[in-house]
Amino acid sequence: MTAQTPAALGYRMPAEWEPHSATWLSWPRREGISFPDSFDRVLPTLRAMVEALVESEKVCVNVCNGAHESEARGVLRGLPMERISFHLVPTNEPWCRDHGPVFLTRDLDPKLAIADWDYNAWGNKYPPFDLDEVAPTRIAEILDVPVFYPRMILEGGAIDVNGAGALLTTESCLLNPNRNPNLRREEIEQRLRDFLGVREILWLGAGIAGDDTDGHIDDLARFVSERTVVTVVEENRDDENYAPLQENLVRLREIKIAGRNSDSRREQGIDIITLPMPKKIVREGLRLPASYANFYIANTYVLVPTFADSADEAALSILRECFPHRRVIGIDCRELIWGLGTFHCLTQQQPAV
C-alpha cells in the first residue's frame, strides 16, 4: 500500500459507460442465503445475463472451487466459453457490485488499480461475509495491479459516478451508523474524493421500500451521461415509495455540477429523466426492491431488469433513448429479485486501459 491516495496519483473511477475490458461476476452458491428455496429458478436468468454479456465483452466468474466451477459451466453450457474465464475467488454471496473491486484508471503506468473498501454485508445483516470482504484484493493479485485500502465500509451499489468528478450517493446508506459510525459526513466525503478521484459528492435521501442495503443509489438514480441522470419516480401517491422518491427528485433538481475541466468551475444544473417504478411486488409477506434503475451498462448492451409489468416497455423505451448506440434489452427478473437485487448488483465492470 502506498501512502499516497489514488487521487493524488492521478487515478479516478471511470463512468460505467466508458469502455470495459471485462465484467466480473461472483457465481452464487447453492448453500448461500441469497435465493432461499429458489436457487434453481434463478439460474436461467443468470444464463440469460451472461449470454448477453459475452456478446459485449469478456466475463470473469469468481468461483469457490472446482465443483462450483463445474456447476457454473453446466448452467452456461453452449455459450462461447472462450469469452468466459473462471477464477478461484471464493465468495459468500453473488453480489459482486457490493463486495467486488472498485476499479480505478489513470493515463500513466500502472494504468489500472483497485480500491478495496471494507465490507460488512450491508451493516452486519448477513454473516458470514469473510470471503466477500477479501475478494477485491484476491482479484488484484490475479490481475497484478496495485490495491488501495480506504479503511471505510462502502458497497459499490452505494455510489454512481459520471467519470468527470461527480458522485451520487444516499444519506440513508452512507451515513447509516451500521456502516462507519466513527466517520462524520465530511470525513466520508474526503475518503470518496481521495480514493475515487471525484470532486463533488451529491447526496440523495432515502432508498426504496424493501431494499435491505439501506438505500443503494443503484436502485434510485443513475448517471447515463456526464450531465444526465435517470431517476425512478412512483406515480401512486398511496405507495410508500412515493414521498421519498419525490424528495430525491427535488434534490436532483437543485443539484449543480461543474464541467469536466477542473479549470472551468462554472456550475450548471443536470438533466433529469424519470423512470417509472414497477407495481409493488410482495413475496412471502416481504416487499421486494424491484427497480428499473438497477440496469447494467456493458460495452454494447444495457441489461435492464423487467418484472412482467405494464411499465416494462416504458422503462425500456426511455433507456433506449438514453443509450442509442447500445442494445437495450429486458430480462425477466421476477425470480432474481427474490435475492433483493438484479443486474447491477451482480456485476462489476473492469475498465479498459
Q: Which residues are catalytic, by number?
A: 345
CB of 144 closer than 8 Å to CB of 112 = no
* Strands lying side by side in the sheet with 221-225: 221-225, 228-232, 271-275
Residues 6 or more apart whose CB falls under 8 angstroms from that of 282 comprise: 288
Count Cβ neighbours within 10 Å for each residue of 334-353 and write b for 16 or more, e otherwise. Answer: bbbbbbbbbbbbbbbbbbeb
The torsion angles phi and psi of 198, rounded to 5 degrees, stand at: -100, 165
Query: By C-alpha distance, which of 229, 245, 233 is closest to 161?
Result: 229
**In 10 A of CB 127, how many CB atoms?**
10
Provide the residue type at 142 as one letter. I
The conformation of residue 238, written as its DSSP 8-state character, comes to T
Q: Is 164 exposed, middle or buried (0-12, 13-18, 19+ CB in 10 A)?
A: buried
Distance of CA 73 to the CA centre of its chain: 24
Query: By C-alpha distance, which of 12, 1, 346 is closest to 192?
Result: 12
DSSP codes of every residue in 115-127: E--B--HHHHTS-
CA atoms 303, 305, 308, 309: torsion sign: negative
Length of the chain: 353
Query: By C-alpha distance, which of 287, 285, 274 is closest to 208?
Result: 287
**In 10 A of CB 128, how many CB atoms?**
11
